[in-house]
């Protein structure tokens, strides 16, 4: 069968947690569907099936394979190539595909949202359909909601009516959409918008969720502009980033990417930024051109991963050296790019993501920029509003690649083992490097570049199964591994556990500058090479006096972040001469000060800047921040990105509890509350028992005040860690746990809450029966009821 159109009408019934709807499907039955049509359906109930404007049709639901069979044998004049429209009345229960998040107690932006997440096969949980990515269809959705709520869905808003009973909104596309990218979200959203030329660009977030939305919109506009230059014009009528709760990551619903609200609001953080750009990249690969089958997943994920790094290039390599971001991809052995043995939902390994982006990057390096982007444009033109499979995609590159490399690429998509480098001693005092590639995963060669003091260069290529002597030949030669950066980091290729330790270190030492002139060479080499070298430590010739200039000369935000981090490690070395240490402290303090904060502090805020706290006095340096956090205002003057940076520093317990404790309790940002609660929980993990009562009081307060999973899980972990040896000492915590069970709506954490309470009674039967008695008549999850009846199962 071939579905041409889905039109959904209905509403989400919050009281029953069900989407009550009718879908009208216009389809061509095909030769196989002339007597009985088989659709995919995993909805809770199919209530009726009829021919549009006609009679009811007999149907049968086969729950196990998720099939809905409709008897169409008596449809008058049915023919394989004649479209018919079926109307299906159904109810879909809330599920991983139809997520209904109520207004949560203890959420600073307490409002409900219902939204869909369908990839790869979950669309059938909320709508009977033909569940295969290449059967694209026109989509419309018309749903009722409360008067103060709003809906976003794919396509144009075609009607929006306020009536006595609430609001109805309808969206429709006039082009085809793959089934897994049809989506809607309904909630009390605030919308921040801008225009990119005639294209409306917006961010939708729950009312009151704070974020750096101006910056986010800027990055969205910039990335769309970049991809329009590299690829083809943005193909749809709008682009929206829709932030939703209780979702990690993102999904590229056509024209309306859904992203988790705890990981997207701070676009100065590289992870937030790359997620946003990844989903934008999918609008071309995945949405405009989708994949024929889930085995071809790598085409859209590999391209989106490559495009995310390309979009972040302005921060990853400001030098414009033309490096290819290979280091930013990760790959795992035994996670092939195409893996037909895995079920669709299990295919989401590093294979179709980083490893596929690596393959595409190797192809890019071989065919050159013009042919690479030109071939992609041809693919987008030839398959727009259609699909493409693995063979056809690779065939498109066969001309520019030539027969040998094209054959290698076809083999590489199915390779399991990664290539690896065997290291041995060489008589020259260097390292004998032998490239092994048992499964044929490599398409482009791995090459090395030596740069001498006078700027002259020398190249080496690693050949499969042939030992290559890697050693400097002239005084002052500096090694650049993989100068184009078309391959993943060599940490993927060298087995550090099996090799004698000194060989990887020796190879690595050839890339680390040992003289001022080599430092100058490194600063000319491009951000990715700087980042890789700095990951191993600060080059010896960089002195405190020269550090600010060195930092300014680096070409990537993460290279700068890494440089400060390793400078702090160098300076924190207890063996260091006190005068030198003082010099480092003077050099680093102004670089770490703020606001305004340096961009690198926010780009990779998870680097362990803790060592910097041993060199500069972070209590004094960030005194304004600590007191702002401790005093409020609840939103704070400190961004979520900078909070993540401050998270790294050790503080006196008092300051931890006053500053982070206040953020955890009162911030208007759930993301900040979650970070602060985690910060205090990590402190509790290493706290001595005499500090337990203070932590217990904090975690009890959190448990008694929120049902938000991100906060509650940290607080429960913290309570388990800091419990006292008697029930009496744990009384406050037990009261909080009891309050949580009595007050919160039934949550998946109920059972865990019961088990923590049981542990905190410390075998005191009276305390346990008091807790159990207090829950009489309280509605709990099945798991919690079971644990209450039989706590030994905890
Ligand atoms: Zn993706």
| CATH number of the CATH domain containing 305 | 1.10.390.10
Q: Is residue 204 part of a domain?
A: yes
Residue 351: domain span: 289-412
171 DSSP β-pair partners: 141, 157
**What is the rounded distance in angstroms from the CA atom of residue 283 to the CA atom of residue 300?**
10
Ligand 1 centroid – CA 274 distance (Å): 11
CA–centroid distance, 127 to ligand 1, in Å, is 23
Cα separation, 737 vs 632, in Å, equals 27
Do 98 and 202 lie in one domain? The reply is: yes
Residue 451, H or E segment: strand 446-451
User: Considering only CA atoms, which of 595, 691, 704, 706 is closest in space to residue 646?
Assistant: 595
Residue 421 burial (C-beta neighbours within 10 Å; 0-12, 13-18, 19+)? buried
Please report the pLDDT score of residue 265 as a whole number.
Answer: 97
- In terms of domains, do 294 and 402 share one? yes
Question: Three-state DSSP class for 362?
Answer: helix
Same domain for 162 and 233, yes or no, is: yes
Q: What is the sign of the dihedral through the CA atoms of 44, 46, 47 and 53?
A: positive
Distance 132 CA to ligand 1 centre (A): 17
Q: Do 94 and 151 lie in a common domain?
A: yes
Q: How far is the CA of 90 from the centre of ligand 1 (A)?
A: 30
- Residue that terminates a domain, selected from 282, 298, 324: 282
| Centre of ligand 1 from the C-alpha of residue 756, in Å | 37
CA of 300 to the centre of ligand 1 (A): 7
Are residues 343 and 263 located together in one domain of the fold? no
Q: What separation in Å is there between the alpha carbon of 241 and the centre of ligand 1?
A: 14
Residue 518 pLDDT: 95
487 CA distance to ligand 1 middle (Å): 21
Residue 133 lies in a domain: yes
Distance (angstroms) between ligand 1 centre and the Cα of 337 equals: 14
Q: Does residue 271 share a domain with residue 293?
A: no
User: How far, in Å, from the CA of 423 to the mean position of ligand 1?
Assistant: 36
CB 135 within 8 A of CB 38: no
CATH number at residue 155: 2.60.40.1730
Peptide bond before residue 781 is cis, with ω within 30 degrees of 0? no
Same domain, 91 and 190: yes
Q: Compute the distance from residue 250 Cα to the ligand 1 centre, in Å.
A: 7
- Domain boundary pick from 355, 379, 412: 412
Find, among 273, 272, 277, 280, the residue nearest to 255 by Cα: 280
Q: In which element (H, E) is residue 221 found?
A: helix 213-230
The segments of the chain whose pLDDT lies below 50 read none
Domain assignment of residue 469, yes or no: no
Q: Do 306 and 273 lie in a common domain?
A: no
**CA 350 to centroid of ligand 1, rounded, Å:** 11
How many whole angstroms from 252 Cα to the centroid of ligand 1?
Answer: 7
- 776 found inside a domain: no
Give the count of beta carbons closer than 10 Å to the beta carbon of residue 369.
12
Rounded distance from Cα 303 to ligand 1 centre (Å): 9
Answer yes or no: do 208 and 303 share one domain: no
Q: How far is the CA of 288 from the centre of ligand 1 (A)?
A: 14
Residue 164 lies in a domain: yes
DSSP string, 641-698: HHHHHHTTS---HHHIIIIIHHHHHH-S-HHHHHHHHHHHHHHHHT--GGGHHHHHHH
Q: Ligand 1 centroid vs 415 CA: distance in angstroms? A: 21
* 183 and 259 belong to one structural domain: yes
327 lies in some domain: yes
The DSSP letter of residue 263 is S
3-state secondary structure of 170: strand
DSSP state of 783: H
Q: Dmax of the chain from CA atoms?
A: 95
Quick one: pLDDT at residue 498? 67
Determine the distance separating the centroid of ligand 1 and the alpha carbon of 411, expressed in angstroms.
23
The strand pair at 256-260 and 239-244 is best described as parallel
Compute how many other C-beta atoms are within 10 angstroms of the C-beta atom of residue 384: 13
Q: How many CB atoms lie within 10 A of CB 103?
A: 14
Radius of gyration over every alpha carbon of the chain, rounded to an integer in angstroms:
29
- Same domain for 339 and 274, yes or no, is no
> Distance, CA 364 to ligand 1 centroid (Å)?
20
Q: How far is the CA of 304 from the centre of ligand 1 (A)?
A: 6
Q: Which of 462, 291, 298, 443 is nearest to 367 (CA)?
A: 443
Query: Do 436 and 464 touch, CB atoms closer than 8 A?
Result: yes
Side-chain-side CA neighbours of 23 within 13 Å: the count stands at 24
Structure tokens belonging to residue 336: 């092939």
For ligand 1, the distance from its centroid to the CA atom of residue 23, given in whole angstroms, is: 28
CA of 617 to the centre of ligand 1 (A): 42
CA distance 283 to 658: 45
Count of Cβ atoms closer than 10 Å to residue 176 Cβ? 17
User: CA-CA distances (angstroms) from residue 224 to 155, 219, 230, 371?
Assistant: 18, 8, 10, 21
Cα–Cα distance, 299 to 295 (Å, whole number): 9
Do the beta carbons of residue 171 and residue 253 sit within 8 Å?
Answer: no
pLDDT of residue 440: 97
Residue 128 inside a domain? The answer is yes
∠ CA 476-562-493, rounded to 5°:
70
DSSP 104: P
User: Which of the listed residues 356, 380, 412 is the one where a domain comes to its end?
Assistant: 412
CA distance 450 to 460: 8
Residue 779 lies in a domain: no
Phi and psi torsions of 395, nearest 5°: -60, -35
Alpha carbon of 305 to ligand 1 centroid (Å) = 7
Tell me how many domains the chain contains: 2
Roughly how many angstroms between the first and final C-alpha of the chain, as a whole number? 50
Residues 386 and 241 in one domain: no
Q: What is the chain's length?
A: 794
């Amino acid at each position: 069968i071939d579905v041409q159109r889905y039109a959904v009408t209905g509403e989400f019934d919050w009281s029953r947690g069900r989407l009550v709807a009718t879908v009208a499907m216009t389809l061509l039955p095909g030769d196989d569907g002339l007597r009985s049509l088989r659709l995919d359906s995993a909805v809770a109930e199919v209530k009726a099936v009829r021919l549009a404007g006609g009679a009811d049709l007999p149907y049968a639901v086969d729950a196990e394979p998720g099939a809905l069979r409709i008897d169409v044998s008596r449809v008058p004049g049915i023919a394989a190539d004649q479209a018919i429209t079926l109307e299906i009345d159904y109810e879909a229960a809330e599920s991983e595909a139809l997520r209904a998040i109520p207004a949560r107690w203890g959420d600073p932006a307490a409002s409900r949202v219902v939204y869909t997440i369908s990839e790869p096969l979950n669309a059938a949980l909320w709508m009977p359909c033909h569940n295969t990515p290449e059967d694209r269809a026109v989509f419309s959705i018309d749903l009722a909601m409360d008067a103060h709520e709003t809906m976003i869905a794919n396509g144009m808003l075609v009607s929006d009516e306020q009536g006595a009973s609430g609001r109805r909104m309808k969206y429709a596309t006039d082009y085809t959409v793959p089934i897994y990218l049809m989506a809607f979200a309904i909630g009390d959203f605030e919308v921040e918008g801008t225009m990119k030329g005639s294209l409306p660009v917006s961010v939708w977030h729950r009312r009151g969720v704070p974020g750096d939305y101006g910056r986010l919109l800027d990055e969205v506009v910039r990335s769309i502009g970049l991809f329009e230059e590299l690829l083809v014009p943005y193909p749809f009528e709008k682009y929206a980033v829709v932030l939703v709760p209780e979702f990690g990551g993102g999904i590229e619903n056509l024209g309306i990417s859904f992203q988790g609200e705890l990981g997207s609001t701070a676009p100065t953080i590289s992870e937030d930024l790359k997620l946003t750009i990844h989903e934008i990249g999918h609008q071309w690969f995945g949405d405009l051109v989708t994949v024929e089958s889930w085995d071809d997943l790598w085409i859209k994920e590999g391209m989106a991963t490559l495009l995310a790094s390309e979009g972040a290039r302005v921060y990853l390599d400001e030098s414009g050296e033309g490096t290819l971001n290979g280091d930013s991809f990760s790959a795992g052995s035994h996670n092939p790019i195409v893996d037909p043995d895995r079920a669709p939902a299990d295919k989401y390994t590093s294979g179709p993501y980083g490893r596929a982006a690596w393959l595409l990057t190797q192809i890019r390096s071989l065919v050159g920029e013009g042919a690479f982007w030109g071939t992609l444009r041809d693919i987008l033109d030839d398959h727009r509003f259609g699909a493409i499979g693995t063979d056809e995609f690779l065939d498109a590159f066969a001309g520019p690649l030539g027969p040998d490399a094209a054959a290698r690429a076809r083999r590489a998509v199915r390779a399991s083992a990664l290539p690896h480098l065997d290291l041995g001693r060489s008589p020259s005092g260097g390292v004998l490097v032998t490239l092994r590639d048992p499964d044929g995963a490599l398409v482009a060669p791995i090459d090395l570049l030596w740069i001498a003091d006078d700027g002259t260069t020398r190249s080496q290529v690693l050949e499969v199964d042939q030992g290559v002597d890697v050693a400097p030949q002239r005084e002052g030669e500096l090694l650049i591994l993989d100068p184009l950066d078309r391959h993943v980091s060599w940490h993927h290729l060298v087995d550090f556990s099996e090799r004698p330790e000194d060989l990887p270190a020796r190879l690595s030492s050839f890339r680390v500058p040992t003289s001022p002139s080599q430092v100058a060479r490194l600063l000319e080499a491009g951000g990715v090479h700087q980042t890789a070298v700095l990951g191993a430590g600060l080059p010896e010739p960089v002195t405190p006096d020269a550090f600010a200039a060195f930092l300014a000369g680096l070409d990537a935000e993460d290279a700068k972040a890494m440089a400060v981090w390793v400078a702090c490690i160098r300076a924190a070395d207890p063996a260091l001469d006190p005068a030198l240490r003082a010099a480092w402290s003077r050099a680093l303090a102004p670089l770490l000060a703020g606001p305004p904060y340096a961009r690198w502090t926010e780009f990779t805020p998870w680097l362990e800047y803790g060592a910097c706290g041993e060199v500069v006095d972070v209590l004094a340096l960030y005194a304004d921040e600590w007191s702002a956090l401790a005093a409020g205002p609840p939103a704070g003057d400190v961004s979520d990105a900078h909070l993540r940076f401050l998270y790294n520093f050790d503080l006196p317990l008092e300051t931890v509890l006053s500053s982070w404790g206040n953020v955890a309790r009162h911030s208007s940002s759930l993301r900040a509350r979650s970070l602060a609660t985690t910060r205090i929980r990590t402190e509790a993990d290493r706290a001595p028992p005499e500090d337990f009562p203070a932590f217990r009081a904090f975690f009890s307060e959190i448990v008694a005040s929120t049902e938000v999973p991100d906060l509650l899980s940290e607080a429960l972990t913290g309570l388990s860690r800091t419990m006292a040896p008697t029930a009496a000492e744990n009384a406050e915590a037990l009261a909080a746990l009891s309050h949580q069970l009595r007050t919160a709506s039934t949550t998946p954490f109920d059972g865990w809450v019961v088990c923590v309470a049981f542990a905190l009674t410390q075998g005191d039967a009276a305390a346990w029966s008091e807790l159990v008695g207090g829950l009489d008549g309280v509605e709990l999850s099945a798991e919690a009821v079971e644990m209450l009846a039989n706590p030994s199962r905890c």
